[in-house]
Amino acid sequence: MNGAGGTGGVEEAVAAAFREEWGQVVATLIGVTGDWDLAEECAQDAFAQALDRWRRDGVPRRPGAWLTTTARRRALDVLRRRAVGAAKLREVAVLARDERAPDPYDPDDGDVVDDRLRLIFTCCHPALPIEARVALTLRTLAGLSTPEIARAFLVPEPTMAQRLVRAKRKIRNAGIPYRVPPAHLLPERTTGVLGVVYLLFNEGYAATSGADLVRANLCAEAVRLARVLARLMPDEPEVLGLLALLLLHHARRDTRADAAGELVTLEDQDRTAWERSEVDEGTALLENALRRGRPGPYQIQAAIAACHMTAPTAKDTDWADVAALYGELARLVPSAVVRLNRAVAVGMAEGPEAGLALVAELERSGELAEYHLLPATRADLLRRLDRTEEAAEAYGTALDLVENDAERRFLERRLAECLRAGAAPPEGGRRGTARPDGP
Amino acid sequence: MKYVMFICTPVGGTELSPEEIADDPAFTPYIDHVRASGVVKGGARLRPGADATTVRVRDGEVLLSDGPFVESKEYVAGFDIIEVADLDEAVALASRHPAALGGGSVEVRPVWE
């Protein structure tokens, strides 16, 4: 036992244990009892007991092991009380015997599959709706409360509670197995898990203003989950690629908006305020992943982010490299948004005319007709060619489509610049009646 | 676990009889797989929706209507009762079914036990 300092020390220790161990405790308890609700209940109970007991007896040497044992005993009590028939009693006997099972916290027990891996693959099972996968991952693995998840996804609390109940019920009733998928399913399922973590990050990333702090916190949660995955699957290059990508984006979190909450583009961000340790960690992870010679979408996106972030100034960005990487990404992911990003990079590498040609191609395909960044990109390329009249018109189209407030204000500033340069104001469309930000 | 796989095909598609299905090369790999694995515990090919009669009793009166209980783009052409370890195994079997491969779909429903 470590002699804990004051009361604050114990509370901090419990809070730290909650962040570090919640997922592990819940995962182990589900593995042992097969009952998701009971697992959560007993985990919660163990953390509550920790507050009292650690204050009295000191913080245990291995908080995770203490919490798991306490939660397991509690589950055993509950099941004993519930047990009525012989079959139930047999189950309890199995559970009691498991008390002597290999200790997952013992570093010598190397071949024990981490229960958290089972948990995350089950939470992200493709038979569950995507919103449920995200919510369940946040609840069971990351330990966010139902109200917190509801706030983060801008839905009423009862809706989120219902979503979690339904997901857990389906896992039980439909026979979704609690396991790491066998080899022939693993690549596809791993992609699914990474997709959930990436979506989580993007939800948080889209939030920029102070009122959206709960949503912004999703980025930190996504990084934490990606870290767990990278620790559990250290030989999967795309897992490392995802963590690298998230770290490289996350490192810029304090520079993406100014003091007034206005959007600051990559070009104008204060590079000295980027979280250097995260940039370094991200680039090191990326190198480690790429060395394995199995590139994938996350590694390529991380490589693009690294191109931007390792340039000493925006002007030093190697746009030819960025354009080539987007070309490679477009081959792997047939997405119009990726092709639009490539147009931006080509516009920087070879000049605005070359970028405009690619934008025109996308416009003809009609794929991104409702996406504000398509006209916004056209506008930016025209602006750089001093074709302010046409640029102003394109900014007008983008403003008709934009939904996010910070982005709208950014486009309005750019339009105002064009107007000051002598362009005629664009025909007003749906502007002013645009929908507020959010799903 | 027991599941029922509802084999759904688009309305207006070709109606194959059980004999035609048995001879259809598109079904051969599936049928061979099912025989070898022994997971199918029962099932039936159903006559088309046009031959269905839907029965309701309201206020003691038996009401009949011609056709399936719900009109939709797909209808249940047959079902298989299977016994497998979990949903992953059920999905693996369903995804080999010619209906799932060829424009229709297979609904996998756990049996309430």
ipTM of the complex: 0.89
For residue A154, give the 3-state DSSP assignment: coil
Question: Which amino acid, A350?
Answer: E
Closest CA to A49 of A28, A32, A70, A80: A70
Whether A392 and A418 have beta carbons less than 8 Å apart is answered as: yes
Q: Does A127 touch chain B (CB under 8 A)?
A: yes
Say what the pLDDT of residue A257 is.
84
Across the interface, whether the CB atoms of B88 and A174 are under 8 A apart is answered no
- Residue A177: closest C-alpha in chain B: B86
Q: How many A×B Cβ pairs under 8 Å?
A: 23
Long-range CB contacts (within 8 A, 24+) of A126-132: A126/A189, A126/A192, A127/A170, A127/A174, A127/A176, A127/B87, A127/B91, A128/A167, A128/A170, A128/A171, A128/A176, A129/A167, A130/A196, A130/A199, A131/A163, A132/A163, A132/A164, A132/A166, A132/A167, A132/A170
- Which chain B residues contact residue A167 at CB under 8 A? none
Residues in chain B closer than 8 A to A127 (CB atoms): 87, 91
Q: How distant is the Cα of B60 from the closest Cα of chain A, in angstroms?
A: 36
CB contact under 8 A, A177 and B3: no
- Please enumerate, as own/partner, the contacts of A278-281 that have beta carbons within 8 Å and a separation of 24 or more: A278/A247, A278/A248, A278/A250, A278/A251, A279/A247, A279/A248, A279/A251, A279/A309, A279/A310, A281/A247
| Distance in Å, alpha carbon of A122 to nearest chain B alpha carbon | 11
Distance CA B22, CA A418 (A): 71
pLDDT on residue A435: 38
Does residue B90 belong to the interface with chain A, where contact is any CB pair within 8 Å? yes
**Interchain CB distance below 8 Å, B90 and A177:** no
Spatial CA neighbour of B81 closest among B41, B111, B35? B41
- Looking at the complex, report in whole angstroms how far the Cα of residue B87 sits from the nearest Cα belonging to chain A: 5
Interface contact A177-B86, CB threshold 8 A: yes
Q: Choosing among B3, B83, B86, B106, which should be mutated to test the A contact, i.e. which has the most A CBs within 10 A?
A: B86
Closest to A250 measured CA to CA, from A223, A214, A283, A211: A223
Q: What is the model's pLDDT at position A436?
A: 37
* B contact test, residue of A172, A173, A178, A184 with most B CBs within 10 A: A173
User: Distance (Å) from the C-alpha of residue A299 to the closest C-alpha of chain B?
Assistant: 29
Two tokens, residue B106:
């297979």
CA A265 to chain centre: 21
Whether the Cβ atoms of residue A294 and residue A249 lie closer than 8 Å to each other: no
- Collect all residues of chain A within an 8 Å Cβ-Cβ radius of residue B91: 127
Which sign does the torsion angle of CA A113, A114, A116, A120 carry?
Answer: negative
Q: Are A115 and A97 in contact (CB under 8 A)?
A: no
Pairwise CA distance, residues A272 & A220, whole Å? 21
Cα B48 to Cα B29: distance, rounded to the nearest angstrom: 24
Tokens of A439: 């799903």
Both tokens of A187, joined, read 């690549």
Closest residue to A127, CB basis, from B1, B85, B87:
B87
Alpha-carbon span A67 to A45, nearest angstrom: 9
Please name the residues between 183 and 212 in chain A that touch chain B, using a CB distance below 8 Å. 185
Cβ of A177 within 8 Å of Cβ of B87? The answer is yes
The answer to whether A246 touches A304, Cβ cutoff 8 Å, is no
Query: How many CA atoms lie less than 13 Å away from A426 in the CB half-sphere?
Result: 24
Partners of A181 on chain B (C-beta within 8 Å) are 88
* Total count of residues recorded for chain B: 113
Divide the 439 residues of chain A into consecutive groups of 10 and give the mean pLDDT of each group.
Answer: 59 93 94 93 96 95 95 92 69 60 45 80 96 94 91 90 96 95 92 93 71 75 94 94 97 88 87 95 98 96 96 94 96 93 96 96 92 95 94 95 86 92 69 38
pLDDT at A93: 65
pLDDT at B108 over 50: yes
How many Å lie between the alpha carbon of B113 and the closest alpha carbon of chain A? 10
B95 vs A contacts (CB less than 8 Å):
none
Look at residue B71 in the predicted model and tell me its pLDDT.
72
The answer, for B8 touching chain A at a CB cutoff of 8 Å, is no
Contact A175 B90 (CB under 8 A): yes
* A174 contacts on B by Cβ (under 8 Å): 87, 108, 110
CB contact under 8 A, B91 and A174: no
Longest dimension (CA), chain A: 86
Residue A240: exposure state from Cβ atoms within 10 A (0-12, 13-18, ≥19):
buried
Alpha carbon B17 to its chain centroid, in Å, reads: 13
B3 chain-A contacts, CB cut-off 8 A: 175
- Put simply, the answer to whether B86 touches A175 (Cβ < 8 Å) is yes
Contacts of A125 in chain B (CB under 8 A): 87
CA angle A39, A41, A43 (to 5 degrees): 65
- C-alpha A365/C-alpha A336 separation (Å) is 9
Instruction: Tell me whether residues B88 and A173 touch, CB distance under 8 A.
Output: no
Whether B88 has its CB under 8 Å from any CB of chain A: the answer is yes
Q: How far apart are CA A262 and CA A258, in angstroms?
A: 5
| Cβ distance of A174 and B85 shorter than 8 Å | no
pLDDT at A390: 95
Chain A residues with beta carbon closer than 8 angstroms to that of B88: 176-177, 181, 185
Residue A4 confidence (pLDDT): 45
Put simply, the answer to whether A176 touches B1 (Cβ < 8 Å) is no
